[in-house]
């Protein structure tokens, strides 16, 4: 065993235990920032002790014991208020002498509810989207600040400030550590799902940088989605989101060449698709559809992805069904991007002229003014219609707008293939 082996083991344990450790500590302290600090302090203690003493049989309980005792020491020392001192001190006092085995049992009993509460806190709409993503990956993904910064290609200091501001905002807003009920639950659940899918999409099609895909982010989003679906089994949309991500993740190996260059969907070697993930995705889709007579946005997108997954060859794709599903999605979740995707499906089902008509209707949509896929799709349709010079200009415009170097190279190669202006 090398000298670094114990630390790798401890890091792996931390990734597993961190979310539920922070969740349990947040329930106790009602402060997500302090809970994370306490968890980190316990982790540092493990890095110091475990290489000599060995990893305990119940590492989660060991970490929680250290963190709880640290919290109790702080409360006694600070004596912020008699009420807080009495309430929190009593709770920790009751447990601090408990055996590790008993603490582990109680830790597991509280785990599901606590983790679900933490998910809703980290994804609270009071935070901007980028802060929700960063905080979720930090608290629930067990990723370090440098890892998250590298994944999203932002300076580490910027990412660190984003996380600090998010924790401060949550504390100042006095966000309760609870699963919302009634009308608030749907709105908050939508925020949670949005955050998880934002993480997945950044891995599936990176917006910036030299890599077109970042599989690690896809894996984290999938893990979080599966956890959420398990914690809220009667909610259809978490299952729908899991279905969507499972099916899309099945294509990751086929989405790039051995050199990392993008491979578009219709050009992919479907033999490289992961049919185990597809099977899991289709099963999750069935669960979502069984829970509701009306498909929500993520379930609808999963149903669209399923149409691709069921086609063993590109020409077998049921584009008419995909166009219909996009029509339903556009009616339930109106969005220029949904309309652009519907245009692609209509073009495949009814011909490029029909698709181009829909795309041209989006030309002056303000929200798509800097969206590179609008000229990219338009260029593709113009190419199919034989209007190569116009297609070349659209591909060049898309190349200017994208911030991903791999995608820019692909668009410029497509522009070059259209030849020079007559």
Question: pLDDT (tens digit, 9 = 90+) per residue, 313-338?
Answer: 999 999 999 999 999 999 999 999 99
Distances (CA, A) of 288 to 105, 119, 242, 243, 284: 32, 20, 10, 9, 6
Question: How far apart, in whole angstroms, are the C-alpha atoms of residue 178 and residue 188?
Answer: 11
Taking alpha carbons only, the member of 128, 261, 254, 96 closest to residue 194 is: 128
Give how many domains the chain has, as a whole number.
Answer: 1
- Interaxial angle between packed helices 32-53 and 100-122, expressed in degrees from 0 to 180 and rounded to the nearest 10: 140
At residue 147's C-alpha, the angle toward residues 141 and 150, to 5°, is 130
Is 87 a member of any domain? no
**Tens-digit pLDDT profile for residues 399-421:** 999 989 999 999 999 999 998 65
Question: How far apart, in whole angstroms, are the C-alpha atoms of residue 24 and residue 36?
Answer: 10
Is 206 a member of any domain? yes
Q: What is the mean pLDDT of the chain?
A: 88
Is 88 a member of any domain? no
Is 278 a member of any domain? yes
Give the per-residue pLDDT at 391.
Answer: 97
Query: Encoding tokens for residue 235?
Result: 């909610």
Give the per-residue pLDDT at 314.
Answer: 95
The boundaries of the domain holding residue 260 are 189-291
Q: Quick one: the chain helix, strand, coil %, rounded to 5?
A: 75, 0, 25
**Tens-digit pLDDT profile for residues 51-103:** 998 889 889 889 999 998 888 887 777 655 555 555 555 555 554 444 444 44
For 403, which DSSP code? Answer: E
Is 141 a member of any domain? no
Is 370 a member of any domain? no
Q: Which DSSP helix (H) or strand (E) runs through 208? A: strand 208-209
Highest mean pLDDT among 113-127, 139-153, 204-218, 310-324: 310-324
Question: How far apart, in whole angstroms, are the C-alpha atoms of residue 169 and residue 386?
Answer: 54
Residue 108 has pLDDT above 50, yes or no: no
Query: Encoding tokens for residue 37?
Result: 């600090």
Is 298 a member of any domain? no
Is 223 a member of any domain? yes
Q: Which long-range contacts (CB under 8 A, 24 or more apart) does 147-154 make?
A: 151/202, 151/203, 151/214, 151/216, 151/217, 152/202, 153/208, 153/209
**Tens-digit pLDDT profile for residues 243-300:** 999 999 999 999 999 999 999 999 999 999 999 999 999 999 999 999 998 999 999 9
Give the per-residue pLDDT at 90.
Answer: 55
């Amino acid at each position: 065993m090398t000298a670094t082996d114990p630390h790798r083991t401890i890091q792996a344990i931390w990734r597993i235990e961190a979310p539920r450790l922070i969740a349990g500590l947040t329930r106790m302290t009602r402060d997500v920032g302090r809970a994370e600090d306490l968890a980190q302090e316990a982790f540092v203690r493990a890095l110091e002790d475990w290489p000599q003493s060995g990893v305990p049989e119940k590492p989660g309980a060991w970490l929680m014991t250290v963190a709880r005792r640290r919290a109790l020491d702080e409360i006694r020392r600070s004596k912020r208020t008699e009420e807080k001192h009495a309430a929190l001190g009593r709770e920790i006092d009751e447990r601090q002498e408990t055996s590790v085995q008993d603490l582990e049992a109680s830790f597991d009993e509280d785990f599901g509810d606590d983790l679900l509460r933490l998910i809703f806190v980290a994804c609270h709409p009071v935070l901007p989207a980028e802060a929700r993503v960063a905080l979720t990956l930090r608290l629930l993904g067990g990723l370090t600040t440098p890892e998250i910064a590298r994944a999203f290609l932002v300076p580490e200091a910027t990412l660190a400030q984003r996380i600090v501001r998010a924790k401060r905002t949550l504390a100042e807003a006095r966000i309760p550590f609870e699963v919302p009920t009634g009308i608030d639950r749907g709105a908050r659940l939508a925020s949670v799902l949005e955050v998880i899918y934002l993480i997945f999409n950044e891995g599936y099609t990176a917006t910036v940088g030299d890599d077109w895909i970042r599989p690690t982010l896809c894996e984290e989003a999938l893990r979080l989605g599966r956890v959420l679906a398990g914690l809220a089994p009667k909610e259809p949309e978490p299952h729908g989101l899991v279905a969507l991500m499972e099916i899309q993740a099945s294509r990751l190996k086929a989405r790039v060449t051995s050199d990392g260059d993008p491979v578009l969907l219709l050009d992919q070697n479907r033999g490289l698709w992961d049919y185990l993930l597809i099977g899991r995705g289709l099963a999750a889709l069935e669960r979502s559809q069984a829970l509701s007579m009306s498909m929500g946005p993520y379930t609808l997108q999963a149903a669209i992805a399923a149409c691709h997954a069921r086609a063993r060859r590109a020409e077998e794709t049921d584009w008419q069904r995909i166009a219909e599903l996009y029509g339903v999605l556009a009616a339930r979740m109106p969005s220029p991007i949904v309309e652009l995707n519907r245009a692609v499906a209509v073009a495949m089902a009814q011909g490029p002229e029909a698709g181009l008509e829909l795309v041209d209707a989006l030309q002056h949509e303000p929200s798509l003014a800097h969206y590179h896929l609008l000229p990219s799709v338009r260029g593709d349709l113009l190419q199919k219609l034989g209007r190569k010079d116009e297609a070349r200009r659209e591909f060049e415009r898309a190349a200017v707008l994208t911030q991903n170097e791999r995608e820019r190279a692909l668009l410029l190669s497509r522009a070059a293939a259209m030849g020079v202006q007559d």
